[in-house]
Amino acid sequence: MLSANLALAVPEIILAVGALALLVIGAFAQKQTTLIGGASVVVLVAAAVAAATQPFGTAFGGGLISDAAATFAKVAIYLASAIAIPLAQPWFERRGMRTFELPVLILLAALGMGMMASAGDLISLYVGVELHSLALYIMAAMHRDNAKASEAGLKYFVLGALSSGLLLYGASLIYGFAGSTLFSEIAVAAGSEANTGLLFGLVFLICGLAFKVSAAPFHMWTPDVYEGAPTPVVAFFAAAPKLAAMILFARVLADGFAGAVDQWQQVLVAISLISVAVGAFAGLVQKNLKRLWAYSSIANIGYALLGLASGTSEGVQAMLVFMVLYMIDVTGFFACLAALSRQGRAMETIEDMAGLIKERPAIGFAMTIFSLSALGLPPFSGFFAKIFVFKAALDAGLWGVAVAGLVGSVVAAFYYLRLIKVMWFDGSQGATDKPPAEANAIALASAAFAFPVVIVALYWLNDAAATAAQALGLV
């Protein structure tokens, strides 16, 4: 029995053992940061391979689920985490911080995100959420000599504690009224009769999870943390953790509350519309690009929640496709920001990008692609992502919500186009520094996938997302 359980937890075991081993090695060989970073990438790739090849089933009394949805999310999460290490570690080293803890923290965060993707009960849900969150709090404040980074880490931690309280309170209500922590047994209790206590618990649980994906009105931490945290760290926790939280969102609702779609659909629709509105209109006045993309992420999470709010398997499929394509855009954009500096000063405002296409044409072209993709302009990947989400909403009869989301997308187009205008048509403010090789390579590779090249891969991605969505309880 134990061996069967362990067989379904191989990716988590690889990450846990790898993180602990590298932590011990780093404690005795702190200068071997490159070796530890490379080994961490190998561990994450090995975990992704294990996730892609492991059998399906449930383990540890139903607390851990291995299915197509978990496999899809884990592979994407682990690969995104692996990309974050060569992007972030050299950035810190160029600033005199040879820290071996960074790749170890990414491993621990990936371990927590993998547990979120495979959570089968409220206990594993909470352990996964807190494990990845604690690692992110530390990473946000890792640039210790920077006051804004310290402030970002503190704000993230304090507000994260608040969200954990909401999540735990909701979980305790659900456990009290359902009599079990397992999603499968909660579904029986939720489907037997209209249980007001369960629905109250679900609302609190949704609020806690909405914080993790920075959905409005639980987004208050996002702009400040994005602005203050180190740029490559933002590239990490703007991508993989969002997918982990969204797949957990889908699993909780589909596996635990599939019989109460009419109730939670209203909550998700409201959060989705508020997120799109806040992200679109608040982004119009932003001058700092990291804050701008914080509001962009809030709006994009609103679109992803719109797919989930449809309450169908097609909607979950659309959400998964959207999140993977969004991960490519946001990782590439922040890789561009990490690569740009002028006389040693980071370029983070819209004005800093003036004339970038003449100074650094490759980076400028890549940022143009990411901006147009986030806008949803064809033929870039973001267009197909939004098409999937809006189609799922329309098929579910959410016509008004889809139209409101489309209006929000049109409003948000202003700040993407303003950035492109500044890069292409404004005069340069001086020569930029030579971009670091690793950030330049990641940015350009991401741009290739955001460009029409993604159309070829989209067929495979869509099929994989459909298989993952069918593994959940929605029809």
Comparing 460 with 179, which gets the higher pLDDT? 179
The confidence score (pLDDT) of residue 440 equals 74
> DSSP for 133-170?
HHHHHHHHT--TT-HHHHHHHHHHHHHHHHHHHHHHHH
377/394 Cα distance (integer angstroms): 20
The confidence score (pLDDT) of residue 175 equals 93
pLDDT for 10-19, tens place per residue?
A: 999 999 999 9
- Phi/psi at 146 (5° precision): -105, 120
Under a CB-based contact definition with an 8 Å cutoff, are residues 178 and 198 in contact? yes
Strand-pair partners of 121: 182
Under a CB-based contact definition with an 8 Å cutoff, are residues 230 and 88 in contact? yes
* Average of per-residue pLDDT values in the chain: 88
Secondary structure element (H or E) that encloses residue 334, with its range: helix 313-339
pLDDT at residue 1 is higher than 60: no
Under a CB-based contact definition with an 8 Å cutoff, are residues 350 and 422 in contact? yes
Local structure of residue 397 (DSSP, 8 states): T
377/283 Cα distance (integer angstroms): 18
Q: Percent of the chain at pLDDT above 70?
A: 96
- Segment 337-345 shows an average pLDDT of 83
Ranges 67-71, 390-394, 432-436: which has the least confidence:
432-436
- Grade residue 382 by pLDDT with cuts at 50, 70 and 90: confident
- Grade residue 338 by pLDDT with cuts at 50, 70 and 90: confident
Under a CB-based contact definition with an 8 Å cutoff, are residues 190 and 178 in contact? yes
pLDDT at residue 452 is higher than 60: no
- Segment 217-243 shows an average pLDDT of 90
The confidence score (pLDDT) of residue 21 equals 94
pLDDT for 71-92, tens place per residue?
A: 999 999 999 999 999 988 888 8
pLDDT at residue 301 is higher than 80: yes
- The pTM score is 0.94
The confidence score (pLDDT) of residue 457 equals 66
For the ranges 16-30, 178-192, 439-453, the one whose mean pLDDT is highest: 16-30
294 token code pair: 């914080």
Secondary structure element (H or E) that encloses residue 27, with its range: helix 10-28
